[in-house]
Structure 1
Amino acid sequence: MSQVRIVEAGDIAAIAAMFQQVLRNQAGPPPASLVDYLRHLFLDAPFCGGGAHSLVYLNDEGKISGFIGVHMLPMTFHGRKLQAAVCGTLMSKDRDRDPLAGARLLKAFFDGPQDLSFSESANDISTRLWTRLRGATLASYSLDWIRVIRPAGFTLEAAGKKIKLARLFSPLAGGFDALWRKRLDPGQLSWPALAPGGTGQKAGTVRDISETEFIKLLDPLTSHIPLRPDWAQCHLDWILMDAHEKPNLGELIFCAVLSPNGRPIGAFAYYAKPGAIGSVLQIIALPGQAGVVIDGLIDDAAKRGLVGLRGRVQPNLLDAMLGRRIAFVHATSTVVHSRDAELLKAMTDQQAFLNGIAGEQWCRLIEGRFN
């Protein structure tokens, strides 16, 4: 008889094999590094346990055919201490044979002791499961934003993910982009490219900072958001250590944005590699300062030789992004669930700090490399 139970150490090899087949779309056994990482992430990490656990689904033959990966995130809501559960991986195989496996896993997860649950990487199938089980999709948290800096380089880099030979034309792209950008006046807004002088906005000063300094800025720069991580209780050192392990994306850069009097008004963290599209891990800003921080990020990326930027939208940044020649696309959805109507309303009313380091984007399962 099929059942759902808590993950055990002996399950990891089967989970890794399913991950390799279902989510990586690769045949053959999973690499040892993936097996080790899944064990590390879902059994040994400091945010495992706390009442909510990763779960496996056993089919009628007693074999693992489904998995939901969970980690805990301490949060606060108007001073009230909460426990959120982040669902980082939901997968099942043999859906034709057992179409309810995913739903049973998700229902068992929702029945845990956490105050709220969410995922920022739900595909269309997962999103339907969440909403059928009385979850909600947060549209304004479910958009990726894109800013093109060097158009030819951006096009080749995007194409290179599908067509490896496209990157052979990178030297030509550099010359084309230089000519294109020279045609733009300093500070001129353009959809296809960024002017050589950058955004032209100098209301803030960007300064490189350490990871430790970035962590210290999180609380003062997010204290205006009602529902947010309890940063003092979060294992940020562990999360950011994991975030560094993505060599394909480049170096993880931390920067603060300062007002003319030297006061921090925002900060950002992103992956930077010359000639690549930068992946933005997090942007934080004081109320009314989001535009200054976004401009600082775009200018910093241009100076480091990036061809563009891509990141996840936070609702408190959305207004500032309009008018800055930023495009929006939908790839995955942020979905939430809570038995507490007040918490659910706070999330659907855009009063929550979710995604990024308060979600899943730091995890090596997203854009990480396993050889």
Structure 2
Amino acid sequence: MTVELLQARSFAAAEGYGDRKTSIRAMERVDLPAVARLFNKVFRQRHRGTGDDLIRYLEAVFFGSPHYAPEHGSIVHENSDGRIDSAILSVPMEFTVNGRRTVARLLCAFMVDGRAGAAGAARLARTVRAARQEMCFSDSSSPVSADHCTAGGGIILPIQSLEWRRAFRPLAAAALLAGRKMPLLASRPVIGALGWVDRVLRRWRPSLKAEFAAGCSTEASSLDAFFECAAPMLERFSVRPNWSKREFDWLASVASLNRSLGTLQCGIVRSDDGRAIGAFLFFGKAKRAAHVLNILCEAGRELDVTTAMFRSIDKDGYAVAAGMGQPFLMNAISRQRWLSFRHRGYFCMVTRHADLKEAALANDIYIGGLASESWSRLLTDF
């Protein structure tokens, strides 16, 4: 999905925007039908009316956050006829940056109604000023958006721009990947038939099976258990999501709406003495794909936790696991056999704070998964 960087509404007001002359303002609930139509036209090439499901989803995601406020939300541009011809959608999320709390914006979609919306889009783009941003980020930017980011003083996080894929049942995994363009290949009969061949391959090539994690065990657990692990395991990072229980529960609830990726699940990795040393959060679709959102662990236990995670996912019968690259996990994950990487979209960030920028460039940051757009139905549905 093409995305851009969003400037705070307060900064737009400081530039003289937000009045009737320029027609840039915060998105309101009454705008949702028009924004839904624009979304369908831009990203789905549909010019017909929108269903209530999309409108309800837009309201839940872009107005439901515990940190929502008009100055932290999405913005739209109205033309002289009062019609919305461009918009930038964003979700507020709270982060800790070197001990201070800040409301960051996850930037989800920059929508422009062709040539008719070009002038409005240009005005929205001009609201981007790195010197005035607290923290804005996008994990699925296009090359054009990435160029705008760096030109405006932003940065690109190269590792988080990658997706890793670990195949356990390679023929089924290949069919699922090809099924994005040819749905028949990802159908249940085809995946079932390829599963029989994969069984033979796994006997012939034992390296397809995930290794056993000595001294560790994995157990399925609740989302509450993942939340309990999160705070102490995130403290090693200077920049990290500051998940309150209320915000985490809201993120988990909207993520759980993405049924196309499967069921949102949690695994806890324990050492032999029963102590939790890691946790992972993922979408699982039985016998198909596991989409890993977040992996947390104690410092120094990265290899143990990732090895145990892959073993657990393999034992549960998934054909493939995939997730966002994280610098602190790259050494551990790269030791897996049958692993590949692909560019998933530029991870861009804009901030006026030098310490935040330095921490991000030094990989002293935890971001992604629930603290990104990976869970959104806008990437997979409608």
Greater shift, 139-148 or 67-76, is seen at 67-76
Matched residue SS, 2:306 = helix
Say which of 24, 27, 30 aligns to 2:44. Answer: 24
Q: Deviations over 1:118-177 (max 9, x none)?
A: 111212232222222221111111111100110111111112222122234223211110
Report the CA distance between 1:323 and its aligned residue.
2.3
In the alignment, structure 1 segments of 5+ residues that lack a partner are 189-193
Query: AA paired with 1:170?
Result: I
Please tell me whether the aligned partners of residues 52 and 114 of structure 1 are also in contact (alpha carbons under 8 angstroms): no
Q: Deviations over 1:172-217 (max 9, x none)?
A: 21111011000134xx3xxxxx22xx31332321011111111111
Say which of 45, 54, 78 aligns to 1:34. Answer: 54
Matched residue SS, 1:336 = strand
Aligned to 2:183: 164
- Residue identity over aligned pairs, in percent, reads 27
Structure 2: how far apart are the matches of 1:179 and 1:278? 22
Matched residue SS, 2:352 = coil
Query: AA paired with 1:262?
Result: G
Note closer, same or farther for the CA distance 1:356–1:324 as it changes in structure 2 (3 Å cut).
Answer: same
Structure 2: how far apart are the matches of 1:281 and 1:121? 14
Report the CA distance between 1:218 and its aligned residue.
0.4
Matches within 5 A, 1:189-338: 194-195=208-209, 198-232=210-244, 235-325=247-337, 326-338=339-351
Matched residue SS, 2:159 = helix
Report the CA distance between 1:43 and its aligned residue.
2.5
Structure 2: how far apart are the matches of 1:308 and 1:240? 23
Structure 2: how far apart are the matches of 1:129 and 1:85? 17
Please tell me whether the aligned partners of residues 90 and 109 of structure 2 are also in contact (alpha carbons under 8 angstroms): yes
Report the CA distance between 1:33 and its aligned residue.
0.6
Aligned to 1:184: 205
Q: Deviations over 1:279-320 (max 9, x none)?
A: 111111121211222112211111221100111111111121
**Number of residue pairs aligned between Structure 1 and Structure 2:** 359
Say which of 54, 58, 76 aligns to 2:78. Answer: 58
Note closer, same or farther for the CA distance 1:101–1:344 as it changes in structure 2 (3 Å cut).
Answer: farther
Please tell me whether the aligned partners of residues 22 and 93 of structure 1 are also in contact (alpha carbons under 8 angstroms): yes
Q: Deviations over 1:223-245 (max 9, x none)?
A: 11111112237611010011111
Aligned to 1:174: 195
Matched residue SS, 1:235 = helix
Say which of 337, 343, 351 aligns to 2:364. Answer: 351
Matched residue SS, 2:335 = coil
Query: AA paired with 1:146?
Result: R
TM (normalized to structure 1)?
Answer: 0.90
Structure 1: how far apart are the matches of 2:119 and 2:195? 51
Say which of 113, 124, 143 aligns to 2:143. Answer: 124
Query: AA paired with 1:328?
Result: F
Note closer, same or farther for the CA distance 1:44–1:357 as it changes in structure 2 (3 Å cut).
Answer: closer
Report the CA distance between 1:108 and its aligned residue.
2.7
Note closer, same or farther for the CA distance 1:80–1:348 as it changes in structure 2 (3 Å cut).
Answer: same
Structure 2: how far apart are the matches of 1:131 and 1:104? 18
Structure 1: how far apart are the matches of 2:245 and 2:192? 47
Please tell me whether the aligned partners of residues 264 and 281 of structure 2 are also in contact (alpha carbons under 8 angstroms): yes
Query: AA paired with 1:41?
Result: V
Please tell me whether the aligned partners of residues 205 and 257 of structure 1 are also in contact (alpha carbons under 8 angstroms): yes
Greater shift, 306-315 or 227-236, is seen at 227-236
Please tell me whether the aligned partners of residues 132 and 352 of structure 2 are also in contact (alpha carbons under 8 angstroms): no
Report the CA distance between 1:106 and its aligned residue.
4.1
Matched residue SS, 2:153 = coil
What RMSD, in angstroms, separates the aligned Cα atoms of the two structures? 2.1
TM (normalized to structure 2)?
Answer: 0.88
Q: Deviations over 1:237-258 (max 9, x none)?
A: 0100111112222221101111
Please tell me whether the aligned partners of residues 90 and 126 of structure 1 are also in contact (alpha carbons under 8 angstroms): no
Please tell me whether the aligned partners of residues 151 and 307 of structure 1 are also in contact (alpha carbons under 8 angstroms): yes
Matched residue SS, 1:274 = coil
Note closer, same or farther for the CA distance 1:248–1:241 as it changes in structure 2 (3 Å cut).
Answer: same
Structure 2: how far apart are the matches of 1:211 and 1:232? 13
Structure 2: how far apart are the matches of 1:204 and 1:298? 12
- Greater percentage in helix: 2
**Pair 1:43-2:55 in alignment:** no
**Pair 1:366-2:342 in alignment:** no
Report the CA distance between 1:15 and its aligned residue.
0.5
**Pair 1:108-2:112 in alignment:** no
